[in-house]
Amino acid sequence: MNETTSPSGRPAAVLFGLEGCELSSWERGFFREADPTGFILFHRNVRDPEQLLRLTSELREAVGREEAPILVDQEGGRVQRLRPPHWPSLPAMGVYGELAARDLAAALRGAWLQARLIADDLLTVGIDVDCLPCIDLQVPGAHAVIGDRSFGSDPEIVSQLGKAVCEGLLAGGVAPVLKHIPGHGRATHDSHLSLPHIDADLASLASDFFPFRQLSDQGWAMTAHVVLTAIDPHHPATQSSKVISEIIRHDIGFGGVLVSDDINMQALRGPIAERAAASLAAGCDLVLHCSGRREEMEEVASVVQPLSSTGLERLQRATPPAPGKFDRAAALDELQSLVGAIS
């Protein structure tokens, strides 16, 4: 246990990003003092496998916890933080939705294989949580920020493919993160840039909620920075106690670790410390701060409380099992034969 950990014995309810490929002396000292629950990495933090494994080891050493989760967004397609030449370029998950229309069994197998390969890539360099699958629906007229990151528009197919991805990641010792709960697919704006308002009625939203309900036994989920006007017209889901308690926890039945999407995104308003405090007050277990900017990190650290005892229990339950044996070369060959989109 880190000697600077709070008297509760629980780390702070935040996941931090960092600036570059190596820990600065300031970051090392800050993480030791702030004691975040874990970290998230981006392409700016990645150079090669040796460097990345060293970085993940040093992050855990900084907080004195070997079990500290380290997250990344590794989906395939547009969202891939670990890239060639050291890691394969994999297709967007929408490919498996298209394949499912012709051959559902092949699509399920392909989705599992891709997730299992991703898990192999990640665990080898010390990353144990992947922000995947995106089980938002593709909705006509919506903003392209989701697009082919989604498996498609059929809630049942999205659920089945999402489950295959979760199982593939878990088989490789990596925890999946469902996103963006309770559904971002209808948004007509990019929540990185502005706050989307979804005006659909509850009957229509039921289809958006469906994949999350089907996968509600998973260990992690990430909130959507969208306003669901039929439920809470005043707050984005991330900062809405009504959405979190009534929809995410009760209606959908999700019982795992609930992490906010990045609080740097422009969908949220106000000073960064207020964004963090509001997200936790609404019911998120953890806030996600990604920019790596020193001043913001210090502000966030000044307001976040220790992870709740319930949150800690959820985090411990979300620990994936150790991976089994895996023939990587055979998996790559099989996936290539199914989708032919690997480089």
Residue 196 preceded by cis peptide, ω within 30: no
Q: Has 86 been annotated as catalytic? A: no
Given the residues 43, 103, 192, 199, select the one marked as catalytic. 192
Q: How many CA atoms lie within 13 A of 335 on its CB side?
A: 26
Instruction: Report how far apart, in Å, the C-alpha atoms of 315 and of each of 28, 47, 62, 68, 102 are.
Output: 24, 29, 19, 10, 38
Cα–Cα distance measured from residue 269 to residue 175, given in angstroms and rounded to the nearest whole number? 30
Residue pair 166/133 in contact by the 8 Å Cβ criterion: yes
Residues, the chain: 343
Residue 180 preceded by cis peptide, ω within 30: yes
Q: Has 261 been annotated as catalytic? A: yes
Given the residues 128, 261, 262, 285, select the one marked as catalytic. 261
Planar angle of CA 164, 151, 230, nearest 5 degrees = 110
Active site residues per annotation? 192, 261
